[in-house]
Structure 1
């Protein structure tokens, strides 16, 4: 992000707030009381965000990122308290405010956007009522609040504010819900906007639109932004400076470009290496991961807190806590709490790049290379219509897919394109319209899961995007997984108990859930931990097919890398097949063997992963890839209308009237790669090559 050459980055460490700080934390220590004992979850955290600045906060799930935000707002739960330190927002000493002063601060100076917009919206109230309340809390009367609500929805680029104001939360898409929540947060024109994972679960184009919106509004309003995210690409695009939290301690801080190009702490280096490299897939080897796990909250040990997981650690690191080393970097000052910050970038790799674990070999390669791959799951011309008459919406229209034994089929497209609807039909949770069918091993499955045989239900398992949809919040982790285990019928009770405990321990180790969480209930877990438990639960039944609906969207990059390695290993060892739905195209490219691209309920492109990602592309696929790489926004999927191409209204390569008047046919791009477009394949390839050259030149 461009900044004036004369501006100077804030110091990495400091002793007191300044007048130009939108947020200043000085020596912040926060503890939670658990089972009668206080456990520190933040220790001596000092950071500052200047007015108008964007600051990113990254780290694994459980490192304390959200606690920083909650402490700043004094929203800590009853068992949490600030033990030491100072908090200042726009010049106000937050810890010194009484109830009225705190209420005024929250109403006028600071706002927060939470990770899940649905949980921030009241399902029983219209959007109009909730947005009006936000303006009324900031001091507007009822009539002014109504007019400002309509104007604010226009400001956050909602095309039909009247319809949205009259709607309830469940009637809006995830991207639309997030825009509404942002509109509510901006009602008070705050000096500081805190965003806690604002793009989790959003597809590439909607994410690009939301980020572009935040950047534009930040520039217009001159507000500061604290962006908490596990998506390092988002932090890189949005933030001037970044802080890295580990186990409640700020271990590195600096200008984002400096930190990402030459990290000075081994933990930061590890996080960056967990990302799937551009163009790399599972057959090239396992992703690098960070060994071990986070220490338990409140754990204290001499030396560096990261030493047990660090590949650079020596005896000094285990006995002597590193101070905050400050150094001058190309674009400002950088801080690192590491004795060996000069050579952190030389951190040895943990996994052998190139597949030392044998992962170079395709997991689904048949023993006879000339044999056709066996189809285990098939959808035949399935459609799905919601509603009736004039209110009918065609979510899927004549979709056919095949999933082969031991392969991963990636399913990509924007919110509303029909990805989850297709998954629910395969699982028997939604029935297709008349004429469509779903087959398992060549045999037709009943449209409703309750009418399927036990072995058919056991063959298909699912990992939902939101783990709360699959986990009973009142049950402990051990019981959740135990209920899903498949067991031989002739086992004795003693054998079954011993086997269960061993398998549960193995599953939790595989998904990197510490054993101490066995007795924790689902409602006590963070979002990342819940998702890991949901993945363990899905594999407990030893399924042959797993439908993964955004399984890594709530996970930080280190856990994501471990989960992707786990999925690839289980596929090699057990021959399990995946239908993998994700908005993260880098993740899809790493794991998928073949790709299907959906738009407005129809398949516009499909083929081997390498061919689809390397081009030529359908213009819609090209737009998705550009949105992820460059932060370019595009129009959302809409219900198809008219007789022509379903993408014609938004297509950047529209060739003329034929796109509106005649449906295109599938064109063969070679090697099983097919594109639904009027433009000839060779012409698409030439156009896209010319665009790439132009972008590289600029």
Structure 2
């Protein structure tokens, strides 16, 4: 993966964006919420700034303020924002409309609410192109397909004809990015642009952002909870916490020599793939912004805080004025933090639960398929479209007490397979057994027992919780449905579940919109555990969470697994998280399992060429590291018309010809040094797979 040049020298000219002493306040029934306070920044043309911080730190509010697009209850109470020398909030509605989507482009955080559910995605992108350019209908259509292919959507014509609800979360995110890039903007604001993307698509999109920056001198503001994305994309970094800037400087300064305890805590919470350090969570919670505490807003969570931290506001202090950029920190004990920094633990200091030695698996799937849009008899006669082969002949087992991770790119069938395993989706063919019983044979009370024993936590907690029901009512319904407890015991069980996921009893009276993303995810997990399940499918349970909350949720899942003796299918596109959360790993591509084995064996060679590409695509936290990324050829083939032979052969960097084209490889055992069971579906031998595989 190419790296950013972190010491770019720019021509002296007026900055594109100037923010001076910006304060943003929201009016709420409980009083004013001070979302941003005294924020100042300056961005030259072509500069890239990464903004990081936990949920609620004010990152998205800053993005909306830059566009003068705050909600009706939000207002700039002091300070100013200038774009190209003009005050944004002095522009007329027509002038703002001409800028937004054209010269100023924004990729919002949640594609579910950003895309119009009543319009096909192709219409929404071409509408943006026609609104801001003089392209003809035909030229706009050509540009549409070019953009969809750029963001790695394989069947561009088919996808353009879909409605947003027919696409996965990752596909929706890519559509939004394509829309933002449609007019080659001067300023591109990306709010969590890679949250729903798999690592290869993320790497491609970040390459695209870098190319846009370097080729067209586009200014980039990248907001993310993934600090490694900033390390690989940006020149400067800003760390926000509770509406204030904690630290700012060049990426090298902030990431390699962090001075604020909060910055150090965030970096320690990032999962790593190339060393044996693991994740720490930042203790405590972000303070409520309706009442700003005296002194340092981070004091209650800081290991270095003293009485003088709480008596008066803390000013920004210059750490290194002679470096690549001014390095500044908001901490009166930064020298102590530098001399005794917060660092990740080593894996040896943490233990994982032991899996059962019982030879019979808890769950076993044999030749499972799930096809969508299966053609009728008349369709087949008329030569209609073939079905979408989302899951295509999968064999998989989950042992008692283990966490089996399922990884792969968006659209490879991970979520569909997970839903089939707990019978949320009816499979097209194949057999699944649970505790030795065939799912197809379960009836009556046996069926109810399976439903209580096999649960799923969906990818998006926002859409899986009922917005009109209080949290306590939703948990109570789950307890009532999945157990035979009496009324008093059900109330006690709801309180117990909230306590087990780290929430207090007051959360029972709240509605989903009153909770943070991490709290919603905890509620979704609590609901899944209502009936003491033996097996839980976790579908991207931490992909939308900031790194500190992510570490907390993963610790919670580990604790619940041990407490309830539960097995997990952990679906994720993030191999860094998988490395620290799994016992075994299965790699999925285009509906098929191409590699499966213990965590240790899958993360060390030999591995399938696809696994190798996934590993190389994970961004490194060190901005100075220049790891080479494996570029996969071509686009992901359509699951409606997958390749013959090996499904990966059209993109494989180790393609060997006719055998790959015609013969589908079987999962074959591969010997490992420690004797782990490791299977790879590839025509190459273990020795051939190891050639040139050092990461």
Q: What is the TM-score when the length of structure 1 is the normalising length? A: 0.88
Structure 1 residues 64 and 448: CA distance shift in structure 2, 3 A: farther
Structure 1 residues 139 and 401: CA distance shift in structure 2, 3 A: closer
- Shift, 1:146, TM fit: 4.4
Q: Which moved more, 1:183-192 or 1:410-419?
A: 183-192
Structure 1: how far apart are the matches of 2:487 and 2:656?
69
Counterpart check, 1:426 vs 2:412: no
Residue aligning to 1:559: 549
Provide Cα deviations, 1:88-108, integer angstroms capped at 9, x if missing partner: 122220122233333233254
| 1:303-342 pair list within 5 angstroms | 303-328=295-320, 330-342=323-335
Residue aligning to 1:124: 118
Structure 1: how far apart are the matches of 2:169 and 2:81?
33
Residue aligning to 2:687: 682
- Shift, 1:656, TM fit: 2.6
Structure 2: how far apart are the matches of 1:55 and 1:450?
58
Asked if structure 2 preserves the Cα contact closer than 8 Å seen for 1:446 and 1:452, the reply is no
Asked if structure 2 preserves the Cα contact closer than 8 Å seen for 1:62 and 1:247, the reply is yes
- Shift, 1:301, TM fit: 1.9
Q: Unaligned 5+ residue runs, structure 1?
A: 10-17, 693-698
Counterpart check, 1:100 vs 2:97: no
Counterpart check, 1:272 vs 2:267: yes
Q: Which moved more, 1:383-392 or 1:255-264?
A: 383-392
| 1:511-526 pair list within 5 angstroms | 517-526=507-516
Counterpart check, 1:295 vs 2:287: yes
- Shift, 1:167, TM fit: 4.1
Asked if structure 1 preserves the Cα contact closer than 8 Å seen for 2:261 and 2:341, the reply is no
Q: Which moved more, 1:482-491 or 1:294-303?
A: 482-491
- Shift, 1:226, TM fit: 0.9
Provide Cα deviations, 1:244-293, integer angstroms capped at 9, x if missing partner: 11001011111112111111100000000012233678xx9x73211110
Structure 1 residues 72 and 6: CA distance shift in structure 2, 3 A: closer
Provide Cα deviations, 1:552-604, integer angstroms capped at 9, x if missing partner: 00000000011111111222232111000000101011111011111111111
Aligned with 1:465 (options 455, 459, 462): 459
- Shift, 1:165, TM fit: 4.2
Residue aligning to 1:259: 254
| 1:148-187 pair list within 5 angstroms | 148-151=140-143, 153-155=145-147, 157-158=149-150, 162-172=157-167, 174-187=169-182
SS state at 2:646 partner: coil
Counterpart check, 1:381 vs 2:374: no
Aligned with 1:229 (options 221, 224, 228): 224
Structure 1 residues 439 and 190: CA distance shift in structure 2, 3 A: same
SS state at 2:548 partner: helix
Counterpart check, 1:109 vs 2:109: no
Counterpart check, 1:31 vs 2:17: no
Asked if structure 1 preserves the Cα contact closer than 8 Å seen for 2:264 and 2:342, the reply is no
SS state at 1:605 partner: strand
Residue aligning to 1:503: 496
Provide Cα deviations, 1:160-190, integer angstroms capped at 9, x if missing partner: 6555544433455555543432332234442
SS state at 2:149 partner: coil
Structure 2: how far apart are the matches of 1:571 and 1:73?
45
Structure 2: how far apart are the matches of 1:589 and 1:237?
21
Counterpart check, 1:75 vs 2:69: yes
Asked if structure 2 preserves the Cα contact closer than 8 Å seen for 1:208 and 1:632, the reply is no
Q: Unaligned 5+ residue runs, structure 2?
A: 620-626
What root-mean-square deviation, in Å, do the aligned CA atoms of Structure 1 and Structure 2 show? 2.8
- Shift, 1:642, TM fit: 5.4
State the aligned residue count.
664
Asked if structure 2 preserves the Cα contact closer than 8 Å seen for 1:242 and 1:253, the reply is yes
SS state at 2:580 partner: helix
- Shift, 1:466, TM fit: 1.1
Structure 2: how far apart are the matches of 1:599 and 1:132?
31
| 1:294-693 pair list within 5 angstroms | 294-328=286-320, 330-347=323-340, 353=346, 359-360=350-351, 362-366=352-356, 371-387=357-373, 388=375, 389=380, 390-434=385-429, 436-446=430-440, 453-485=447-479, 489=484, 491=486, 493=488, 496-497=490-491, 499-500=492-493, 502-509=495-502, 517-629=507-619, 630=627, 632-634=630-632, 635-636=635-636, 638-639=638-639, 641=642, 643-670=644-671, 671-689=676-694, 692=695
Structure 2: how far apart are the matches of 1:33 and 1:448?
54
Structure 2: how far apart are the matches of 1:111 and 1:653?
39
Structure 2: how far apart are the matches of 1:620 and 1:323?
49
Q: Which moved more, 1:297-306 or 1:104-113?
A: 104-113
Residue aligning to 1:3: 5
Provide Cα deviations, 1:522-574, integer angstroms capped at 9, x if missing partner: 13444444323322322333222110010000000000011111111222232
Asked if structure 2 preserves the Cα contact closer than 8 Å seen for 1:266 and 1:344, the reply is yes
Residue aligning to 1:22: 16
Structure 1: how far apart are the matches of 2:371 and 2:442?
16
Q: Which moved more, 1:447-456 or 1:674-683?
A: 447-456
- Shift, 1:447, TM fit: 8.6
